[in-house]
Chains A and B, each alone.
Chain A
Amino acid sequence: MAKYMLLIFGDAVAWEALSEAERAAHDAEHAAFRSAAGPRVVGGEELVSASVGATTLRADADGGLLMTDGPFLETKEGLGGFYLLEAGDLDEVVALARLLPEVRAGHSGVEIRPVIDHG
């Protein structure tokens, strides 16, 4: 078994524009994903949109700490949420990730990243 991070990227404006009914359908698809994945879901959260909630820390030119309002990467599409899964191989993860609504909406996508095992 190995761990995989599913990073859900998308346009926060498009997510916020979902109607109540669309939002409910969206949430139901996530619920279906979680129930299909069962105990393979190790963790997962929806994040406050980067334009509203992100704070970034990095070094400034003098080596001091620079705190900025906003995400590390200023892009139209940002990280909207994540799942941490445990699975046997990539095909198993892809089969589950296909259930996520973000892989079908035009503005979003799901990036699958294997987690390095330092066990």
Chain B
Amino acid sequence: MSTALPVLTPKDFASDQEVRWCPRCGDYSILAQMKRVLPTLGIPKENFCFVSGIGCSSRFPYYLDTYGFHSIHGRAPAVATGVKLGNPELSVWVITGDGDALSIGGNHLMHAIRRNVNLNIILFNNRIYGLTKGQYSPTSEVGKKTKSTPLGSIDNPLNPLAVALGSEATFVARAVDMDTKHLIEILTRAAHHKGTSFVEVYQDCNVFNSMAFEYAANKRGNPEKGLKPKSENIVYLEHGKPLIFGEKNDKGIRLIEGRPEVVELGNGMTEDDLLFHDESAESAGIAFTLAQMHYPEFPEPLGILRDVDLPRYDEGVEAQMAHAIDVKGEGNLEDLFNSGDTWVVEE
């Protein structure tokens, strides 16, 4: 009998639960790509554990036939850290959203990332609160009119990638829900990264915030709305390659005094003048600069902004335990209880 792992297919990962997201929700695509990625990772199905918080995103675990925990609002990174502490062998994924992770859950997100716990955190950013029917979220743009902000939001939004980088994330990436091939690539890279992998996925909530990311998803553009094709509005990051974008690959990004600038190639401007992407740069400074590039002033970066290798918390915990046993020997209760001052009362 072969001792190799059984060959898994996407169907093996489908649970028996009827998927209840709204028709045309971006979550369907993310689920489909995840089911394509999981069988390729060489991990036994029983070793996956999906932990979610609360929100439409967080219904995700129910639709996969793996171990899963639908926990409470904002707390998935903490629950997931606990799962790793309980069994470091598991491949633990956190499925969260912009409200779950950046509003109530901001603190836990920050700490899971800075500890570099070996987790994959996938944040479905739809710039709205979908499950509770349409309030604004920490990533909603200023002026967004919603049920709770009828005169327009006056909050300055958070930038998930910047938050992750600010929390010292060792893997930071962004993808788009309908950009299926690229999303598969990013999820695969995230899975292989050791440490916390943070992925922001632009996700379309077609009921409460439809077309929020049309600029990054629509290949042909929308001339009526003045929307150019997506290739004009996003730039794919590739390690070691210059930042080039545009339908005709005729535009690039260069840094002038640390600030990004969109330039047109030709007329003396060549690839060599452009910023070359380095995923593994020790300093997160340039990654942060990229994260700050917002449409429409700049093309928004898609792909992996940062991928560095730093000590992982869960491995550190195991190492310390092993070290303690090396130094003190395995604990003996009798020795413990009889340590310090003791005395005997005779019969």
Q: Do A and B come from one complex?
A: no
| A contact residues vs B (CB 8 Å cutoff) | none
Chain B positions near chain A (C-beta within 8 angstroms): none
